[in-house]
Structure 1
Amino acid sequence: MDKTELRKMQLNRLQEFAKTTQKQREEINLFHQFVSHPKVKASQNIGLTIGEDFEVDTLPLIEALLEMNKSVYLAKVRPHKRMDFVAYHSGDQLVKSKFGVLEPNLDHPVKNQLDLVVTPCLAISQNHHYRVGFGGGYFDRFLNQYQMQTLTLALTPMIFETADWPISMMDVPIDELIIPSE
């Protein structure tokens, strides 16, 4: 299956899954795993995105990181398919980007040399941690330019045993995958 077909299929699956209580249970499980994760504890500067309703809800993660006195940076898309991470503080105004993603409205300091980046996905392989995002290539370009630890939180419908999609030279595998535990 090519990535375009996979994205369409995953968007439908995730939108249906978002209507279930199972999604909420999995998010609570992922939250607890995330805040106690050694990479999170060891990192000071952490980059994230604020996802759509069908993705993992990162707002509780962001608030928890701020309470842990971590510095939080949110992804902000720029012209020419660039992406930067911009400092975020509790209460900062967020606006929807042209992709429908909430981003910082203010021009806070940019920090692209982060300790840890939490990458979004529509699909991810358990065996090699290759992910499929939304198709813009922003994260892969960023991760090819800046070397840092990466982590993805995946809901059950996002998880594939192997990557049944084409992997390109630009695709960057994620270091660690957090999935719902039993």
Structure 2
Amino acid sequence: MPLPFLTADRAFDEAAETALPFDDRDQWRRPYRPGPYRVGAAALLLLLASYVLFAGVIIAAAGDTTAAGVCGVLAVLVIAAAMRLLRMGTWVCARGLRHVGFFRTRTTPWDVVVAARTVQQPVRWLGLPRTVQGQALVLVRRDRQGEQTALLTSHNGDFLGRTTAFERATDSIEVWADEYRPQH
């Protein structure tokens, strides 16, 4: 089974001479692989879901279909949470930039993007309330009077301990922004 999210880094390695290595630029792509913390958390959630499903089968065999149904619904919710956790991140295509969060997805067309740049600032450590000094890729939008939105940070679940991957991802997104946003 092909896993397209595993080919993102390989595509950049193989096509180092071109800044935008993808042929179909109208397809949404994440220009980096999910980090080990994000993948590990999703794996633990899927492991939990398998235990809940197994418990539901045992409960159904014992004859309590209502409780088995509750276990099944709970397992589906945990699986959906794990899949959404893996889907989180910043995605790009020729139409714009998409920031996928756990509960909300925001799509920004390139024509409202003023800049995408890397800045030094306090960032949240693994999405927790604790902040540390790090780097963030911020998006400056024309329609929000210069308000900056952090897209990626050097201490999130994708890039904690992977500075090279963070630099490659931010450089790639900055190149997409320079390529597709209107020059004023």
Same fold (TM over 0.5): no
| TM superposition score normalised by structure 2 | 0.24
Specify which structure has the bigger relative contact order, considering alpha-carbon pairs within 8 angstroms and separated by 6 or more residues: 1
| TM superposition score normalised by structure 1 | 0.24
Max radius of gyration: which structure? 2
Greater helix fraction, Structure 1 or Structure 2:
2
